[in-house]
Amino acid sequence: MVTLAFFASTLLAAFLCLAPVAHYVLGPINRVVANLRAPSRFQLNDFFWLLVQWQLLLGACVSFVGTRQWRFFSSLVTAGTIVVVLLWSGAVSFISRAGIDCPRRRAVFVVFLLPATLSLMVGAVATVVALITMPFAIIHDDKFTWLQYALVYAAIPLVIGLAIFLRRVSFWILSGLRIHRVAA
């Protein structure tokens, strides 16, 4: 029997890994943002990437929900649109304050790096929760298959490897940084 204290402590331990994961992956860009403090500037190609993200949302909603369930579909598209616009505007503001002007590097950040970092954070929390709760499932004689154990233990190097890869992408984005000095 899982107690409320065990459940709360498991969630606390899992959510304590969110900030270090985000700091590890996005920390290099965040340091540039803090030091440079460039203004937020939206470029025309940023709006193209908003449309790409919105099309990905619509494609996912149509393929997973379908249009026959119109009320659920429309509410899911509405909520997803709000999330996509907020994520996009935050990403473009963040990357422009870092002084990144290259459209390709901005696109990689907006379309790939930030969503992948958020997915990595969710994966890290799920891995921590699985690692904490697995021994208690064994004690209580829950039937775990070898595949479930393999998936949990395979998630550890996968999360670590993905974090290292995403950090390298952050450094690649910064490698094209052109700092513009304004004469006072």
User: DSSP of 55-123, one letter per residue?
Assistant: HHHHHHHHHHT-SSSHHHHHHHHHHHHHHHHHHHHHHHHHHHHTT---HHHHHIIIIIIHHHHHHHHHH
Which of 69-73, 112-116, 180-184 is predicted least confidently? 180-184
Q: Which pLDDT does position 137 carry in this prediction?
A: 65
Judge whether residue 182 has pLDDT over 50: no
Q: What is the pLDDT of residues 7-60, one digit of tens each?
A: 777 778 777 888 899 999 999 999 988 888 788 889 999 999 999 999 999 999
pLDDT at 4: 74
Domain spans of the chain, in order of start: 17-175
pLDDT of residue 26: 92
Q: In this structure, which amino acid lies at residue 132? A: I
Contact 130, 155 (CB under 8 A): yes
Q: How does residue 142 score in pLDDT terms, banded at 50, 70 and 90?
A: low
